Structure formats: structure tokens, C-alpha cells
A and B are shown apart, each in its own frame.
Chain A
Amino acid sequence: MSSASVLNPADVPQSAIKAAAPMPDIMPPVKARKGLWGYMYRNPSIAIGGTIVLLMVLMAIFAPLLWTVDPTALAPARRTREPSALYWFGTDMLGRDVYSRVVYGARVSLIVGFAVAVLASAIGLTIGLVSGFVRWADSIVMRVMDGMMSIPPILLAIALMALTRGSVGNVIIAITIAEVPRVSRLVRGVVLSLREQPYVDAAVSCGTRTPVIIWRHILPNTVAPMTVQATYICASAMIVESILSFIGAGTPPIIPSWGNIMAEGRALWQVKPYIVFFPALFLSITVLAVNLLGDGLRDALDPRMAKRI
């Protein structure tokens, strides 16, 4: 095409210029929110979940300062009092203050939740890495994991607890063992998919040693899914702890935990429902907050996974 395909602008008089009619807006303009509030607005799950988890952690740490009394002090004379100004959440059948027990009980739930999340992630990460990199170990490890995953996790934890003496440490170990297979599978999946990536291939063909490849290329990519997974494990561990304690196979009755308080309130639940109600409420809210945090992290860290569930 030559320059002759349009007129010379100089030849077009002002009067010949015709403007197109402007088109109206048919929907209101979109405002982009910025800064911390914008972040909160876009990720309400993280904001709400994170705040509640933080409050619960503070409550557990500062339990003695929160107008509590000794949560194990027996007082047979004031058994099963209804909630009142004196006993905010009432007293249980041994006269112990339910409010103080619930506040202290946060410690067990949170410790179990965090400890299981950290331990199961660490062990699962190790097993998953070994299985993803050491070919001969893979089939053996994965058969064992498949077998363990065939035992429903709560049942597995119950069976493990049945033979040990109840203690917070044993509860943590039992729940961790039940959670490890799932984490291992997740990590192994990530490792196997990353090993297919051209840049990992390139690193291998350049003679980079396996530990370096794991450190540089694999671990950074497992951080996001592992963080999300760890959050869900934490929530699930708190529920399993309460179930174990509730059926009498968990935290020893001497330590106040939300599951224990409910277990002790069981016999009276039809007449004194508040003994079960308050720990149930705290447990549910805490687990809900952790789950919300997990959902928010998943949406924020791993958009691909966010589409999946």
C-alpha cells in the first residue's frame, strides 16, 4: 500500500471532520481498593480467621490474667451452678469454674493443633521428598502410606491412643501418625510434577546435586501448598483431640481441655447443657477461624488450587 491510500490531512477541511457520538457508561465504574483495608476487603477470610486465631492464642497465653480461678479447684458445695455474674459459664458437677476451665482449655487445643501441624508437615515433607527422589524407596513408602490411608484417621488415632497412657504428648503423636500419609502424598505429588519442569531438567542435566535441587527448586514450591495444608491439619487435629478426649481416650481428665470439659458434661447434658455448650462454642469458633485462615491462604497463595476446591 502506498501513502495514497488516505487523503493528505492538509486537504481535509475542518468542516469535513465529523465526530462519532460518544457511548454512555452502562455499568458503574469499578473502584480498586488499595492498602491494608483493600487487602482485608479482598481477603476477608484471612482477616477474620487470623484475628480470631490471634485472640485465642492471646487468651491461652494470658489465661491466668483473665479473671480466672484455678481451673482444677474442686468445690463440691457449689456443684452445677447455672451461669451467673459470679460463675460466668457456671460450674461443673465437681464445682469447678467452667469459665476458667474453658479459658485454660484453649492451651491444650492450640498446642495440639500447632504441634501436629508442624510435626506432620515436617515428617510428611521428608517422606514425600524421599519418595519423590529415591525411586526404589518410592514404591515401598507409597504402599505403606496407602495402607495407612485405608484406616480412617480418627479410628487410627483412637487405636493408637487405646494402648498408650493418656497424655498430651501421646495425643500429638497419635494424631500426627494419622495425618502423615496425606501430607506425604501431597509433597510427593508436588515433587513429581516439579521434576517434569524444564528448569529442573536443565538443573539436573547441568550436574546440579540433588540436595541443591531440592533446596533451590523443590522446597520453595512446596511452601505455598504446605502452608495451606498445615492450616487444615491444625484445624483437623483440634477436632480429633476433642473427639479423643470426649470418648475418654485423649488428654488425661486432670488437664482441662475442651474435649474433657464436654466429656465431663456429657452425663448432665439434658439438664445442664451449658457445661457442654461453652467449650463446644469455643472449640467450634477456633476451628472455624483456622479453617477460614486456610481458605484465605489457599486463595491468596495458590490460585490454581483455589479453583479446585
Chain B
Amino acid sequence: MALLEVENLQTHFRAPDGVNRAVDGLNFHVNAGETVAIVGESGCGKSVTAMSILRLIPEPPGKIAGSIRFNGRDLLKLSDREMRAIRGNEISMIFQEPMTSLNPVLTVGRQIGETLRLHQGMSKSQAEARAVEMLKLVGIPEPERRVKEYPHQLSGGMRQRVMIAIALACNPKLLIADEPTTALDVTIQAQILDLMRDLKHRVGAAIVIITHDLGVVAEVAERVIVMYAGRKVEEAAVEKLFRSPRHPYTQGLLGSMPKLGSSLTGDETRLQEIPGLVPSLKRKLDGCVFASRCAYATDMCRKVAPALEEKAEGHIAACHYAIKEAVAA
């Protein structure tokens, strides 16, 4: 049994001029200890998916349907109290903006300690002592001094380390990282990714990493889910996806990524872009969600939404015309 099984997840929002179908029928699973990346452009529903798993979507205006089974329990059926006992304890989350994700008026130690006091019933002094250990673990120098400081006294990279310390304080089984490195300098990005990989091995948590950066995916993920307009369009192990992307959208994403070491003058290395815009999520689409931007779209694509099919072993995509290999049944 997988650690996390998401089935037919739908997260919709009420807007003044219609219902925004931010996530519309998403299925995926995460095994214990595995690292899965969810990739897509901004607005494709990947962050909403992360927030939905922890039930951090405000309801109303939002509404979540489907099922999210974690260790066999459907999170959507839990009471608020049961859900709070899971958040920060069994599932924790790191956010994109380290600059604004820490509370500016509370000390770093208090913010790390809060999780421990909430879930492990530690006393104030125990939590403080453990907070110092956590700061040491995430590689912050002088943890005894830093623990008493406020977020504004720390750099962006340090704040993200603090966020990681908060997330890992209770040894969660699943860590959701929503664009954890996007707001950081390139050198700091690499450090944070190294740290996450290192800690993952020590703590043994499964990671769902949400990103638009395929470089990050290549570096940390084992399996990749590509999302477009609130739906999964392709899923495969990371090498398979990079080597032979099946969905035209994934091909476009990979084509828009610069390759290291290639000349900037050659014709074939010219960066490709995906023309057009993500369709409005406020109306139901009849055909394929990507049809309006797809170079290969046919009338069939615009009429019939493609089902997700296994196109090669462990490689599924939602495209009528994706190249298929014989799959051992």
C-alpha cells in the first residue's frame, strides 16, 4: 500500500464570475521514502494540490472532493482536530517564500518549538533545546544564538533552513515542498537541495516536491508528474520522462529548458517556447486541455478528452497520439 494515494481530487473555488476548477480529477500516489516531483507552469494547480493534501484550502470559497488516503486513512473525512494532529507531525510542508513564511514577531526557536509542543507535548525548555538541535541539523552556525533571533535577522537561505527545521522537527513521514528553492539565489538553491536530500536519507521521509524548475526535478526526484490546467497529463520515472517525453506539453517544457554546454548559435539548440496561454479554468472543456496550444491537435483532440493510458512500462500520458510501446500486460 502506498503512503499517499490521491484519487479523483477536485479542488474548486467560487469566484465572482464562475467556478474556478483549479484541480479537476487528479490521481497519483507516493510510496514511503520516495521522492515525487509535480511539475507544471504557474497556475496549473500544483500548489493547490499541495494545499489540498493538508486541507489548507479555505472552505469557502474553496471546496475539495475525491479522496486523499494517507496510511489508509482518508484525510478528507477526518475532523479538524484529527487533521491538526497530522499537520506538521506526520505530513509537513515547506513553502516557496522563506522571506514571508516565518512569523516576523516570534523568535525562530519559538516557531520551531511550537511544532514540538503541539505534537510531542514537550515543555517550553525541552522544545527550546530540541530547536537548537534542529538548527544544528539544518546547518545553521551558532544555533544557540540564532534560536533567540527573529526572522528579519536571518538571510533568505537561513530562513529556508529554519523552515526545513520546522518541517522536520517531528520526523514526518511525508514532506511536501512547494517551490522550496524558487525564491533563492542559485548557489543557495543547490545548498538547500543538498540539505533536503541529505535529511531525507536520515529521516526517511517521502517527499513531494512541487516545482516549475526541471533542473530541480532532475536533481532530486525519482518519479515525475506533469500537470497542466488542473490535470495530470503525464507521469513517469525521471529518466524515462527526460529521455522520451510522450505528451506534447512535456516535450514543450523540456524544449524550453536551456541545456548546459550547447552552443548558443546552433539552430537545433534554440530554445523553444509553447505558444498561447493556459485555458480558463472557469468552464468545463470538452476536448484535451492542451489542444488550444498543441501543434499536433486534431478535431478529435478538441472533441474528446484523452484518458490517461500507459504508453510504456510505468509511463502514462493523456494524449491520443502519444507514441506507444508494447506494454507487458
Contact = CB atoms under 8 A, between A and B. Distances in A.
A25 to B, nearest CB: 7
Interface in B7-57: 8, 10, 12, 14-19, 21, 24-25
A220 interface: no
Contact of A17 (B12, B15, B63, B300): B300
Contacts of A9: 296, 298, 300, 320-321
A285 B172 CA distance: 58
Contacts of B300: 9, 17
B321 A12 contact: yes
Given A6-B321, A32-B16, A32-B17, A27 B63 contact: yes
Contacts, number: 76
B255 interface: yes
Interface stretch (B154-162, B219-227, B305-313): B305-313
Interface in A273-299: none
Among A17, A20, A25, chain B packs the most CB atoms within 10 A around the CB of: A20
A202 interface: no
Given A9-B300, A27-B12, A27-B63, A20 B17 contact: no
Contacts of B248: 5-6
B251 interface: yes
Interface of B: 8, 10, 12, 14-19, 21, 24-25, 63, 65, 245, 248, 251, 254-255, 272, 284, 296, 298, 300, 304-309, 318-324
A1 interface: yes
B308 A20 contact: yes
Given A1-B254, A6-B248, A9-B298, 9 more contacts: A1-B272, A8-B321, A16-B320, A19-B305, A19-B306, A23-B25, A27-B12, A27-B14, A27-B19
Nearest to B25: A23
A30 interface: yes
Contacts of A1: 251, 254-255, 272
Interface string A8-37: 110010001111111111110110100000
Contacts of B251: 1, 5
Contact of B321 (A7, A18, A32): A7
B322 A23 contact: no
A305 to B, nearest CB: 19
A5 B298 CA distance: 15
B322 A6 contact: yes
Contacts of A16: 320
Interface of A: 1, 5-9, 12, 16-27, 29-30, 32
B320 A12 contact: yes
B323 A5 contact: yes
Given A9-B296, A18-B307, A23 B8 contact: yes
B304 A19 contact: yes
A30 B319 CA distance: 31
28 contacts: A1-B255, A1-B272, A5-B251, A7-B321, A7-B322, A7-B324, A9-B298, A9-B321, A12-B320, A17-B306, A17-B320, A18-B320, A19-B304, A19-B306, A19-B307, A20-B305, A20-B306, A20-B318, A21-B307, A22-B305, A23-B8, A23-B10, A23-B24, A25-B19, A26-B12, A27-B12, A27-B14, A30-B14
A17 B254 CA distance: 26
A30 B17 contact: yes
Nearest to A27: B63
B307 A30 contact: no
B329 to A, nearest CB: 16
B305 A29 contact: no
B320 to A, nearest CB: 5
A132 to B, nearest CB: 32
Contacts of A8: 321
B208 to A, nearest CB: 22
Nearest to B248: A6
A26 B296 contact: no
A125 to B, nearest CB: 34
B256 to A, nearest CB: 11
A191 B144 CA distance: 48
B14 A6 contact: no
Contacts of A20: 25, 305-308, 318
A29 B19 contact: yes
Contacts of B318: 20
